[in-house]
Copies of this chain bind each other. A is one copy, B any other.
Amino acid sequence: MSKLTDVPKRILIGRALRSDRLGETLLSKRIALPVFASDPLSSVAYAPGEVLLVLSIAGVSAYHFSPWIAVAVVVLMFTVVASYRQNVHAYPSGGGDYEVANTNLGPKAGLTVASALLVDYVLTVAVSISSGVENLGSAIPFVVENKVLCAVAIIVLLTLMNLRGVKESGKLFAIPTYVFVAGVFLMIVWGAVKGLLMDETLRAPTSVYEIKPEHQGLAGFALVFLLLRAFSSGCAALTGVEAISNGVPAFRKPKSRNAATTLAMMGLLAVTMFCGIIALAAASKVRMAENPAKDLFKDGVPVGEGYVQDPVISQVAAAVFGDGTFFFIVLAAATALVLFLAANTAYNGFPLLGSILAQDRYLPRQLHTRGDRLAFSNGIVLLAGAAALLVVVYGADSTRLIQLYIVGVFVSFTLSQIGMVRHWNRHLRSERDQAKRRHMLRSRVINAFGAFFTGLVLVVVLVTKFTHGAWVALLGMVIFYVTMSAIRRHYDRVSEEISAPEEPADDIVRPSRVHSIVLVSKIHRPTLRALAYAKLMRSDTLEALSVNVDPEETKALKAEWDRRGIDVPLKVLDSPYREITRPIIEYVKSRRRESPRDAVSVIIPEYVVGHWYEHLLHNQSALRLKGRLLFTNGVMVTSVPYQLESSEAAKKRARKRADWNAPGSVRRGPVEKRPKDTSKPGGGRR
C-alpha cells in the first residue's frame, strides 16, 4: 500500500482529518444526545396533538382515553429502545436497520427496509418542517398565513446549506435541543406547580370551544378502531429512534455502551415529555378537532374557515406561561428550531443511506464513496424535491402528512427486530459459553418481543391509516424498491457479461500490432503535442489523419506539414458532405477490416478550457467522434489535453469543490468499516 505523500497539505487546506488523528472529535454522550435525538424529541411537538385530534372524532368525552394511549406509546417506546440497545451492541458498525435486515433476512428484506427508510426520510423533512412552521406560526401569524410558502422556503434553505456543505458541529445541535428540552420540562413542572400546589386553573386558549363529534356515542369495534388510530398517530413520537443505531461509530469508547446509554436517556426524555404534554393538555382543556372549521364551536357557532388551530405544545405553553410571554416565545422558537434540525437529520441520513445502497449496487455505483460531493448532492436534491412536493400537495398540513408517516419506520423496526432474532438464533447455534448464551437468550427475548410489538403496530398503522394516506407512503416504497431492484439486476447482468474467463478469450486476446492515428485539423500547439506524445508511445505504425472539409484549408495544412518537415505521414480523407465524424469512423473500420488482429489507437488533441460556455465552443466534434469511436471494436481513444490559459480557473474551482465538507460528518463518526455485504457477487466499480 502506498502512502499519500501530501497528507499535511490536505490537512492545511482544511479537509476532514484522517481517522488516526481524530480520536478527540468523537462525541461524548452529552453532545451525542442532542445530535441524534432532535428527531425523536422534536416529535413530541406534534404527536400529542395528533392523538387528541383523532379522539375528538368521538367527541370531547373520548379525551379521557388519552392517558391510556400515552401509556401504550410509553410501553412501545420502552420496547423499541430496549430492542435497539441490542442492535447497538450487536452491530456497532453503524449500518443500521438496512444492514441488520440485509445480513439476517436476505437482500429482499434489506431492500424493503431501505425503501421504507428512504420514504421515511422524505416524510421526516415534510412533517418536521410543516410542524415547525405551525409552531413558529403560533408566535408569528405571518408564517401560518403563508404556510406552504414558508415551508418550501425552509426546505430550500436547508437544501442550499447542505449542498454547500456546512460543517456540522455538535454545539449547533446541543443548544436548541437542550433549550427545547429544558423549556418543555420547565413547562411541565411549572404547570404541575400551578395546577396542583397553587391550585390555579390552567386554561388553554381553546378551552372555551366545544367539539361537535363526527360520530356521537361511538362504541364497540368502532371505538376500538378509533383508539387504535389515535395510538397510531401517537407512534409518531417514535420516529428517529433508529438514528442512534446508525451513529455508533461517532461515539467515544466504549462506543456500543455509550450509544446504548444515550438511547435509554433519549427514550426516557421523550416519554416524559410526551406524557407531560398529554397531561397538561388534559388539565388545561385543550380542544383539537380534525376539521376545526366545522366541528369546533364557540358559543354554539362554528369557528369557520379562518380559524387556525395552534399545536398542542403551544396551547399548553400559552396556558402555563401565558400567550405571548417571554417563555412562550422562547419555547415556540426552540420547538421550531428543533423541528428544523430534525428535518436536517434526514438531509444527512438520506444521502448516507444512498451511498450504502450504491455500494451494494442498488443505486448507481458512482454514489458509493461516502465523502463524495456528487453522491450527497444528488441525494439532497432528490430528498428536497420529494419533500417539497409533499409539502405543496398536502398544503404543509402536518396532520395530513402524519397519515403517511410512521408506516416506513415500523416496516423498518419490524424487519430489523425479526433480523435480530435470527441473528441471535445463528449465534446461539455456535456459542458454547453459558454466560454469553444467557445474555444472548435474554437479548433474543427482547428483540422477539420488539418484533412482535412493532409488527402489531405496523398492522394497526396500516389498517387504520391506509386510506388516510399510508397508501402514498407504500407506493413510494414500491417505487424505490422496483427501481433499486432494476438497477441491481442491470449491474448483475453486466457483471456476468464482463466477468473474466479463466482462459484468455477471443475478445481480450492480445492484438498483434497497434496502428496509431493522430487526428489533425491544423498545425498548432495541441497538434504538435499530440504528435510528440504519439511518437513516444512507439506503436507499430503511426500516421496523421485529416479530413478535407475545406480544400483550401487542407492544401495549406499539407504545405505547412511539408515545410515543417514533420516526420509522420499525413493522410487526408475526402468528405464531400463536410462531415468529420463519418469519414474517420469509416477509415478506422476499414483499417480494422484489413487487419482484424490489429488494434487501432486514435489520438485526439483536446483543448481544456475553464468555463462551461467555452466548452460549448470547443471539442464538440472531438467529443462526438470519441462517442462514436467507442462503439467500434478494437479501438482505443487517447485524449492529449492542451490546457488553455482559462483552464486555470476551472482547476481552482475543481480544487474548491474537492475541499467540500459532506454534511453529517459529526453524526457519522470519522471513519467506519462496514463488514462485507455477503450477498454481493463481484462486480465492476466504475
Please list the residues of chain A having a beta carbon within 8 angstroms of any beta carbon in chain B. Answer: 1-6, 15-16, 18-19, 359, 364-366, 368-372, 374, 487, 490-491, 494-495, 497-501, 504-505, 507-511, 513-514, 521-529, 532-533, 535-539, 548-553, 556, 571-574, 576-583, 586-587, 590, 599, 601, 603, 606-608, 614, 616-622, 624, 626, 628-633, 635-645, 647, 650-651, 654, 658, 671, 673, 676, 682-686
Contact = CB atoms under 8 A, between A and B. Distances in A.
Contact of A647 (B18, B501, B631): B631
Q: How many copies make up the complex? A: 2
Contact of A370 (B369, B551, B577, B645): B577
A636 B630 contact: no
A577 B608 contact: no
Contacts of A608: 630-631
Contacts of A505: 525
Nearest to A572: B1
Contact of A579 (B371, B507, B548, B579): B371
A531 to B, nearest CB: 9
Given A1-B574, A18-B576, A572-B1, A525 B508 contact: yes
Contact of A617 (B364, B525, B631): B364
Contacts of A524: 495, 498-500, 682, 684
A567 to B, nearest CB: 11
Contacts of A624: 366, 374
A121 to B, nearest CB: 22
A635 B641 contact: yes
B522 A684 contact: yes
B626 A639 contact: yes
Given A586-B6, A608-B631, A686-B622, A536 B511 contact: yes
A508 B529 contact: yes
Contacts of A647: 631
24 contacts: A1-B548, A1-B574, A4-B583, A6-B586, A364-B620, A365-B620, A369-B580, A370-B578, A494-B618, A494-B644, A507-B529, A508-B528, A513-B536, A521-B684, A521-B686, A533-B636, A538-B539, A552-B676, A553-B685, A582-B658, A631-B641, A631-B650, A637-B639, A639-B639
Contacts of A644: 494, 497-498
A252 B19 CA distance: 79
B628 A654 contact: yes
A664 to B, nearest CB: 14
Contact of A645 (B368, B497, B527, B632): B497
The interface centre, meaning the residue of A364, A500, A514, A619 with most chain B CB atoms within 10 A of its CB, is A500
A635 B550 CA distance: 31
A146 to B, nearest CB: 31
A527 B509 contact: no
Nearest to A642: B498
A304 to B, nearest CB: 40
The interface centre, meaning the residue of A15, A529, A608 with most chain B CB atoms within 10 A of its CB, is A529
Contact of A536 (B514, B581, B582, B620): B514
Nearest to A528: B508
Contacts of A590: 5-6
A638 B641 contact: no
Contact of A641 (B5, B15, B576, B636): B636
A235 to B, nearest CB: 36
Contacts of A640: 636
B685 A572 contact: no
Nearest to A670: B576
Contacts of A599: 533, 536
Contact of A510 (B522, B535, B626, B658): B535
Given A487-B617, A527-B500, A16 B577 contact: yes
A93 to B, nearest CB: 13
A19 B549 CA distance: 14
B528 A500 contact: yes
The interface centre, meaning the residue of A6, A621, A685 with most chain B CB atoms within 10 A of its CB, is A685
A536 to B, nearest CB: 5
Given A6-B586, A497-B525, 14 more contacts: A2-B587, A4-B573, A4-B586, A374-B624, A500-B525, A508-B528, A510-B535, A536-B599, A537-B601, A552-B676, A580-B685, A618-B686, A629-B641, A630-B639
Contacts of A630: 606, 608, 639, 641, 643
Nearest to A521: B685
Contacts of A364: 616-617, 620
B532 A508 contact: yes
A643 B633 contact: yes
A524 B684 CA distance: 8
Contacts of A651: 631
Contacts of A601: 533, 537, 638
A433 B193 CA distance: 119
A379 to B, nearest CB: 14
A578 B487 CA distance: 22
Contact of A621 (B366, B511, B579): B366
- Per CB-CB distance, the 5 closest pairs between chain A and chain B, nearest first, are A521-B685, A366-B620, A630-B641, A621-B686, A638-B638
Contacts of A536: 510-511, 513-514, 539, 599
Nearest to A502: B564
